Amino acid sequence: MLKAGIVGLPNVGKSTLFNAITKAEALAANYPFATIDPNVGIVYVQDPRLDVLEKIYKPKKVIPTAYEFIDIAGLVRGASKGEGLGNQFLSHIREVDAICQVVRCFDDSNITHVDGEVDPIRDVETINIELSLSDLEQVDKRISRLEKKAKAKVKEAIEEYDVLVKIKDALDQGISPRTLDFSEEELKTIKNFNLLTMKPMIYVANVAEEDLHHPESNRHYQALLHQSKTDGTEVILISAQVEMEIASLDKEEQLHFLEAYGLKQSGLNRVIEKSYELLGLKTYFTAGEPEVRAWTFKNGMKAPQCAGIIHSDFERGFIKAETLAYDDLIKYKTPQLAKENGRVRLEGKDYLVQDGDIMLFRFNVWLPIKPKWSVHQSILHQNRSENYITRVFMILVKIGCRICL
């Protein structure tokens, strides 16, 4: 499951935003470290295509893809050296796929700022410096260990050493490594280190309600926009308080509320959408009478890899994938008509799955049962909850896939 960490200085609106995202009741207090342990919330990603598929397939249930948000404790200057809750903060944030840095872009004398006044550039620099210092320490240690092997002309050591020196030079100059160009091989090497400064980052500009209509008049927001170009980040405009109001409404009321603000979707949905974009994520579907379900996959994944997202046996024994593009389904109204018009394709192992594909996987799987038993008999008479064939077969029945024996 995709994980995004919500980070920021104390009192910038992190926990308020988290409450809106999950409709949870994380402590939102006016003092540092109100969030000591990370609050974890699961968000179901809104995808209007699921509503359409539900009407067409009439399944017993619909399961959207999920997104895990972690509200990570606020940090202060010196976190990389253990100040405040620094060590806990940094250990939690290394576990996430993307970072949503909430930045205060509103003035309110009733809500104190840890540095005395609102300055979004200083705030993002505080956090970015702490992330950089933590990475720099890690990179320095690894470079020291590699130097001897690199001098001895060990190929693997030289490759790793060179890319780490490239990152170290950037960090020493205050440049974010995520703005650098890396080869595919270099990226594979970097991935092993789980560097904080290489994680995709979104600046979530938290503004007052009145600034949603005229963000150009908010000097804090404008300054943050300018800074984001240097930092290699994206900026999403939200009002955490407004998001809290939206979260308390039902679906129809939310639409009216957003319309009143001239918005097509909530700020939270924009954050999720941008996270997917930065991480290169797409969605494919499995659909049938038992259920319609969305699955998240990485752009560029082939059919067997996407099958493996459902179950590892699907990838191991992959044969073919019946594939119907979402747009073709909409055009022909029903799966049957789409098939009659030649739009249902049988794709092989090299097929690159596309966003919106509706897929039915065919595969071979080894079944550890006695030859005289059929699959049906095994399930009726082998009453063991951990029995391999039972587990696999029930998964197949659930999502509408086929066993080829």
pLDDT in tens, 278-306: 888 999 999 999 999 999 999 999 999 99
Average pLDDT, rounded, for the chain? 82
Once rounded to an integer, what is the mean pLDDT over residues 376-388? 37
Q: Over range 142-147, report the average pLDDT.
A: 92
Instruction: State the pLDDT confidence band at 115, using cuts at 50, 70 and 90.
Output: confident
Q: In order of start, what are the domains of the chain with their CATH numbers?
A: 2-116+199-278 (3.40.50.300), 300-403 (3.10.20.30)
Band of the pLDDT at 374, cuts 50, 70, 90?
Answer: very low
Stretch 355-372: mean pLDDT, rounded?
76
pLDDT higher than threshold 90 for residue 150 = no
Distance CA 104, CA 12 (A): 5
Task: Identify the H or E element spanning 372.
Answer: none
- For residue 277, the SS3 value is helix
The predicted model gives 206-210 an average pLDDT of: 92
What's the rounded mean pLDDT across residues 255-260? 86
For 103, the token pair is 């930045």
Report residue 35's pLDDT band, with 50, 70 and 90 as the boundaries.
Answer: very low
Of residues 355 and 273, more confidently modeled: 355
Residue 14 pLDDT > 80 = yes
Which of the listed ranges 28-32, 240-244, 385-389 does the model predict with the highest average pLDDT?
240-244
pLDDT digits (tens, 9 = 90+) for 71-113: 877 565 655 455 544 556 677 788 889 999 999 999 888 887 7
pLDDT at 28 over 80: no
More confident residue, 122 or 396: 122
- Residue 272 clears pLDDT 60, i.e. is over it: yes
Per the rule left: phi > 0, alpha: psi between -120 and 50, beta: everything else, 353 is beta
| Cα separation, 120 vs 225, whole angstroms | 10
Query: Pairing relation of β-strands 61-63 and 291-298?
Result: parallel
What is the predicted pLDDT for the residue at 332? 96
Is residue 382 over pLDDT 80?
no
Among 43-57, 277-291, 382-396, which is the least confidently predicted range?
382-396
Q: Which residues are registered as beta bridge partners of 403? A: 363
Helix, strand or coil, per DSSP, at residue 98: strand
pLDDT at 379: 32
140 close to 246: Cβ distance less than 8 angstroms: no
* Structure-block tokens of residue 33: 């470290």
Residue of 48 and 1 predicted with greater confidence:
48
Q: Report the SS3 class of residue 295.
A: strand
DSSP 106-138: ---TTS--TTSS--HHHHHHHHHHHHHHHHHHH
DSSP 177: G
Picking from 49-53, 84-88, 335-339, which range would have the lowest pLDDT averaged per residue? 84-88
Q: Give pLDDT, residue 81.
A: 56
Is the pLDDT assigned to residue 37 strictly greater than 80?
A: no
pLDDT at 366: 67
Q: Is 57 helix (H, G, I), strand (E, B) or coil?
A: helix
Q: What are 203's strand-pairing partners?
A: 101, 235
403 pLDDT tier (thresholds 50, 70, 90): very low
pLDDT (0 to 100) of residue 33: 39
What residues pair up with 234 in beta bridges, in sequence order?
Answer: 202
pLDDT confidence band for 9 (50 / 70 / 90):
confident
pLDDT for 401 beyond 90: no
Q: Which helix (H) or strand (E) holds 229?
A: helix 219-231
User: In this predicted structure, which of 14-28, 31-45, 358-372, 379-393 has the lowest mean pLDDT?
Assistant: 379-393
Q: What pLDDT score was predicted for residue 370?
A: 46
Bridge pairing between strands 201-206 and 98-104:
parallel
Q: Which of 33-47, 182-196, 292-306, 308-322 has the lowest mean pLDDT?
A: 33-47
